[in-house]
């Protein structure tokens, strides 16, 4: 699907972070959201029928809470101690759910029990070098398990690691500079194939009505 011709400035003008603004979110929704547009696009069915799932960069934890409410044992791993503390307090009464403070590659390196699904919704996959992350995800999936992630559609002409600036966490006094990785859907598919993934589906979901920022959505199966 061709991308709309946006300049980098226009791209960031339309970017509305999916993550929450710090207040406790409403009770868990009745569907799993991959995009920043509620009720739009696929839901949890993209993950198959997992018994155990891993959320890479859950932030406020809504997707993890949804899965846990459906009986899926779910772990959320986030680099931010503030996010982990907040989500753990908000959802402390949810059975089958835990949040862990760790860098995702470190966590995946030390993990000993495989997951049926590993996913990221505008989360850590966006901010982690895929050459480091993808082989670790493959090692931590059950045979044929699902790896899926979503993030903002790529800005045309700006591919690979790109600098992103912002305060990101409540109370931060100075801007934090991080790298975000963006590629075309075809490039993501090639990266996944090179690391042993199969059944790859990568596309950009345009915004509803064609206005606003689209969502990159990628889904693949791990090595058998």
Confidence (pTM): 0.87
Region 5-23: mean pLDDT is 42
Residue 96: what pLDDT?
Answer: 97
pLDDT in tens, 91-104: 999 999 999 999 99
Mean pLDDT for 5-15 is 39
Q: Give residue-wise pLDDT tens across range 54-96.
A: 999 999 899 999 999 999 999 999 998 989 999 999 999 999 9
The DSSP secondary-structure symbol of 86 reads H
Residue 11 confidence (pLDDT) above 50: no
| Distant-in-sequence, close-in-space partners of 115: CB < 8 Å, separation ≥ 6 | 50, 52, 53, 54, 75, 140, 141, 142, 145
Three-state secondary structure call for residue 205: strand
Vertex 148 angle, CA 55 and 48, to 5°: 90
The dihedral sign for the CA sequence 129, 213, 82, 164? positive
Residue 13 has pLDDT above 50, yes or no: no
What's residue 44's pLDDT? 97
Measure the CA–CA gap between 140 and 117, rounded to whole angstroms. Answer: 9
Q: How far apart are CA 20 and CA 224, in angstroms?
A: 36
Q: Please check the confidence at residue 9 and state whether its pLDDT lies above 50.
A: no
Helix-helix angle 130-139:185-194, to 10 degrees: 50
The pLDDT of residue 76 is 98
Let me know: does 183 contact 125? Beta carbons within 8 Å: no
């Amino acid at each position: 699907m061709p991308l709309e011709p946006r300049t980098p400035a226009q791209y960031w003008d339309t970017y509305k972070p999916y993550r929450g603004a710090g207040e406790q979110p409403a009770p868990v929704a009745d569907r799993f959201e991959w995009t920043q547009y509620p009720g739009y696009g696929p839901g949890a069915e993209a993950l198959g029928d997992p018994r155990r799932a891993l959320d890479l960069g859950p932030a406020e934890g809504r997707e993890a809470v949804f899965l846990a409410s459906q009986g899926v044992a779910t772990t959320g791993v986030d680099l931010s101690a503030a996010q982990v503390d907040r989500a753990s307090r908000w959802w402390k009464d949810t059975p089958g759910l835990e949040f862990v403070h760790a860098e995702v590659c470190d966590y995946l390196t030390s993990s000993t029990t495989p997951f049926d699904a590993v996913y990221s919704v505008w989360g850590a996959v966006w901010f982690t070098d895929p050459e480091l992350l993808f082989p670790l995800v493959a090692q931590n999936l059950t045979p044929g398990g699902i790896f899926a992630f979503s993030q903002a559609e790529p800005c045309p002409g700006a591919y690979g690691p790109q600098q992103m600036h912002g305060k990101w966490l409540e109370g931060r006094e100075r801007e934090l500079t991080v790298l975000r990785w963006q590629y075309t859907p075809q490039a993501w598919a090639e990266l996944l194939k090179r690391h042993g993934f199969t059944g790859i589906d990568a596309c950009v979901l345009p915004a509803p009505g064609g206005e606003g920022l689209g969502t990159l959505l990628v889904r693949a199966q791990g090595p058998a």
